[in-house]
Amino acid sequence: MIIYQKKVTLETDFSPMSVRGLLNHWLVPQKMQHFLRINREILVNGQYRAFNRNVEPGDEITLNFSEVSVKVQNYELDATQSFSVLFESDDLLIVNKPAGIKTHPNRPGENGTLMNQVAFYLAQQGKKAYMVHRIDEATSGVLLIGKTPIVIGILNRQLSQKKMARQYIAIVNDPEHELAEHATINSPIGIDPENDRQRCVDYINGLSAITHYRVLSRKGATAVLAVDLETGRTHQIRVHLASIGHPILGDPLYNPTDTTPRLLLHGQTLRYTEPYTDQPRTVTAPVPDAFEPYLS
C-alpha cells in the first residue's frame, strides 16, 4: 500500500542523467532509494525505470513510498496560532517563531509549544508536522517544518552538507567598540557542569561548534551583528558571543545582569534548495520591533 506519493515533472532545461543520479542529486537518502528500487516504486511517465537508465527533460517522475524510515512525530493539537507563515508548499512550511515559546515538547503529552500549534494548523490540511531544526525558546525567527516524512531526509541532508544556511541578527554588548569587524569563533561547546540548563565552552568534552559573525552597525554601547551558523549546538550563538566578552542583550542565562526585556537574537534568514528541484530559495523573517532602537 502506498503511504506517500510525490510527482515531479522535470524542467525543459534539465540535463539528462540516470535515475540513480537524479535521486542522489535530489539528496534522497540511500535507505529511501533502496525501498524505491526493490519495491519498483519509482516511475518515469508511469512505468518503472531501472536506476542505471536515464531520465530526460519533461519526464514525469513519480515516487511512491510503501515504506518510510522516518519516525512519526505526534503532537498534542493547540489551536492557538502565535506564529506567522512566511512560506508554504506541498512539502514544507516556514514560519516566524515568536520569542518566549518553546519550539517543541520535551515530554509526552506536553502542549503549548510551537510544534503543537503547527500540528493543529497542518491537521486542517490532513498533514502532520515534522521538525527539522529548533530555535531556543527566547529566540525568534525563521523555523522550517516538514509536512511529509519523505522530505525530512532531504532537508536533513541539506543541513548536514551545509546546503542550507541560517543567518541571525544579534544585538551585543560592546561598550568600548573593541569587537572585531568580523571573525569566526571556533570553540567546542558542552553542558555546564554547574547548571545542566546552560552550555559552556568546553575544550575537553565539548562538541565542535563554529560561528561566523560580522558587525553591521554600532550604536552607543552596542553592536548589531549578522551571525552565521556552521554547526547547530544548543545555545551556540549565545555561548560563543558571551565567551568572547560580548554577550547578547537580554540573555537571562549568559548576560544575567542585563535588564533588556527580551533576548535580542532573531533568526532572520533561511537559505535552502526547494526539494526535488535546483531552485534556491531565501526566506526572511521581519526583524521584531524590540530591535528597532538599536538599528536606527
Start-to-end Cα distance in the chain: 58
Chain position carrying cell 543567518 = 167
* 154 Cβ contact partners less than 8 Å away, ≥ 6 residues apart: 26, 27, 28, 29, 275, 276
Which whole-number Å values give the CA distances from 191 to 43, 207, 238, 254, 278, in the listed order? 48, 10, 14, 13, 39
Q: Which residue, among 89, 103, 90, has the nearest Cα to 133 in the 3D structure?
A: 103
Q: Which residue, among 254, 47, 28, 54, has the nearest Cα to 136 in the 3D structure?
A: 254
CA 102, CA 235: separation in Å to the nearest integer? 13
Which whole-number Å values give the CA distances from 114 to 81, 132, 152, 227, 264, in the listed order? 8, 13, 18, 23, 19
CA 94, CA 122: separation in Å to the nearest integer? 12
3 state DSSP class of 132:
coil
Catalytic residues: 136
CA 75, CA 134: separation in Å to the nearest integer? 15
DSSP 8-state assignment for residue 156: H
Chain position carrying cell 549568559 = 254
Which whole-number Å values give the CA distances from 240 to 3, 68, 184, in the listed order? 43, 38, 10
Expressed in percent and rounded to 5, the helix, strand and coil fractions of the chain are: 20, 35, 50
